[in-house]
């Protein structure tokens, strides 16, 4: 049969490029239809692209870290048997989320496969605890700790996150990829590192946002006593689902209530800066720290959800973000973003707006601090928060009004249920 040129498909959301994270099959290997061939990083997520046919992978085009344009040939396959299930240049929904693995092949994201290679763990020996039998990074680390069987030698282009530091006499230092915080926040060894994948896209978006959006912000604190008491009571009332009712869902619901009162913050600005669209529905982005960097899945129709529904969806999206199982449509279309830097112990920050949105809410860590009550200084749980807006669309009065409304709601959280 005539060799098939497999081209980088259109993965949606208007993306023009994808970056090769790593090849999953060597040249000359036999592949089955729907077997993942290569992992690529889009602007928003890492996905595995499956082979559209069964056959032999004759040629791989593109190396790890290389950006490929949609429509470019990335592989040449000599097919056998049935014709392609997916047309050349297109990709199925299954392929966009996470392609179905070939029979017997362990389900694991590329970053987990790289970790297994580094730790000498055969994925076939690892007990999976992730959704749908997916192997997580913690599963690999546990297997390594108990002495799992070594994995076979890695294919060409191994994905080492950080390269050894060359001796001082070396004429140059190789540039190796660094994608995110796989080893923990701000961890890396001396040397030169390329920004790849989610980290590179974050750099591009944040640089553009900071240089083009005039940011103004309001930073304040509020007494969280009533908020914490409400959480405790709601957890009891929720019974078996009570563990989902944390402080963050209440904070997100309060943000939704404030957006209803001040709808201009629930808006997007077109690239020309000449037209703003105020959205009827609230599609709220929730920043989640992952091994690859900050990912922002979107809670659809957040304003239509009750507390338990909202909490359940937040938990699902956060888990999917950390296990790299988010669908592309769960990463776009946000109208307002909440970032919880308090989960890392932070107190104050000025979050950067995610274009084309016009506002972002940052939440700090609740901690016991001095607070004045009836003229006396007492110890109270205090929540720091900050609101940043695009000054092209909103002024200081809007920032203060939204922040005040948020504080009023959170100090009287029963209003969230009305």
Give the other-Cβ count within 10 Å of 262's Cβ: 16
Question: Which tokens is 9 given?
Answer: 């498909």
DSSP annotation of 281? S
With a CB cutoff of 8 Å and minimum separation 6, the contacts of 127 are: 139, 142, 143
Nearest C-alpha neighbor of 413 from the set 231, 219, 221? 231
Burial track 210-249 (b if 16+ CB lie within 10 A, e otherwise): eeebeebbbbebbbbeebeebbeebeeeeeeebebbebbb
> Could you give the CA distance from residue 363 to residue 250 in angstroms, rounded to a whole number?
12
> Could you give the CA distance from residue 149 to residue 118 in angstroms, rounded to a whole number?
13
User: What region does 182 belong to: left with phi over 0, alpha with psi -120 to 50, or beta?
Assistant: alpha
Residue 107 β-bridge partners: 134
Which one is catalytic: 17, 157, 215, 391? 391
With a CB cutoff of 8 Å and minimum separation 6, the contacts of 309 are: none
User: Could you tell me if 21 and 110 are in contact, meaning their C-beta atoms sit under 8 angstroms apart?
Assistant: yes
> Could you give the CA distance from residue 250 to residue 26 in angstroms, rounded to a whole number?
49
Q: Catalytic annotation on 391?
A: yes
Task: Catalogue the active-site residues.
Answer: 391
């Amino acid at each position: 049969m005539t060799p098939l040129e497999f081209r980088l498909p259109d993965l949606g959301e208007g993306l023009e490029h994808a970056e090769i994270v790593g090849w999953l099959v060597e040249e000359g290997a036999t592949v089955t239809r729907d077997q993942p061939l290569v992992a690529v990083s889009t602007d928003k997520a890492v996905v595995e692209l499956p082979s559209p046919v069964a056959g032999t992978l004759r040629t791989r085009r593109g190396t790890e870290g290389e950006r490929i344009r949609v429509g470019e040939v990335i592989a040449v396959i000599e097919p056998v048997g049935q014709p392609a299930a997916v047309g050349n240049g297109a990709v199925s929904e299954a392929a966009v989320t996470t392609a179905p693995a070939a029979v017997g092949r362990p389900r694991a994201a590329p970053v987990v496969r790289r970790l297994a290679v580094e730790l000498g763990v055969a994925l076939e020996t690892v007990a999976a605890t992730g959704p749908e039998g997916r192997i997580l990074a913690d599963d690999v680390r546990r297997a390594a700790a108990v002495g799992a069987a070594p994995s076979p030698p890695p294919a060409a282009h191994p994905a080492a996150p950080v390269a050894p530091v060359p001796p001082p006499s070396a004429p140059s230092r190789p540039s190796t990829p660094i994608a995110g915080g796989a080893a923990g926040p701000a961890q890396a060894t001396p040397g030169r590192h390329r920004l790849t994948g989610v980290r590179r896209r974050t750099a591009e978006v944040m640089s553009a946002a900071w240089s083009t959006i005039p940011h103004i912000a309001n930073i304040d604190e509020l007494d969280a006593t009533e908020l914490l008491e409400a959480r405790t009571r709601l957890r009891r009332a929720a019974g078996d689902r009570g563990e989902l009712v944390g402080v963050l869902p209440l904070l997100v619901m309060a943000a939704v209530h404030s957006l209803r009162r001040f709808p201009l913050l629930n808006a997007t600005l077109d690239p020309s800066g000449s037209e703003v669209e105020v959205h009827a529905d609230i599609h709220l982005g929730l920043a989640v720290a992952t091994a690859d960097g900050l990912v922002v899945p979107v809670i659809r129709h957040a304003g239509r959800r009750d507390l338990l529904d909202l909490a359940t969806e937040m938990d699902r999206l956060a888990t999917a973000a950390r296990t790299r199982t988010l669908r592309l449509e769960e990463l776009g279309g946000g109208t307002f973003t909440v970032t919880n830097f308090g989960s890392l112990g932070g107190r104050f920050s000025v979050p950067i707006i995610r274009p084309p949105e016009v506002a972002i809410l940052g939440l700090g860590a609740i901690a016991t601090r001095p607070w004045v009550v009836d003229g006396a200084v007492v110890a109270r749980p205090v929540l720091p928060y900050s609101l940043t807006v695009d000054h092209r669309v909103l002024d200081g009065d809007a920032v203060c009004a939204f922040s005040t409304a948020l504080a009023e709601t959170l100090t009287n959280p029963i209003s969230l249920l009305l």
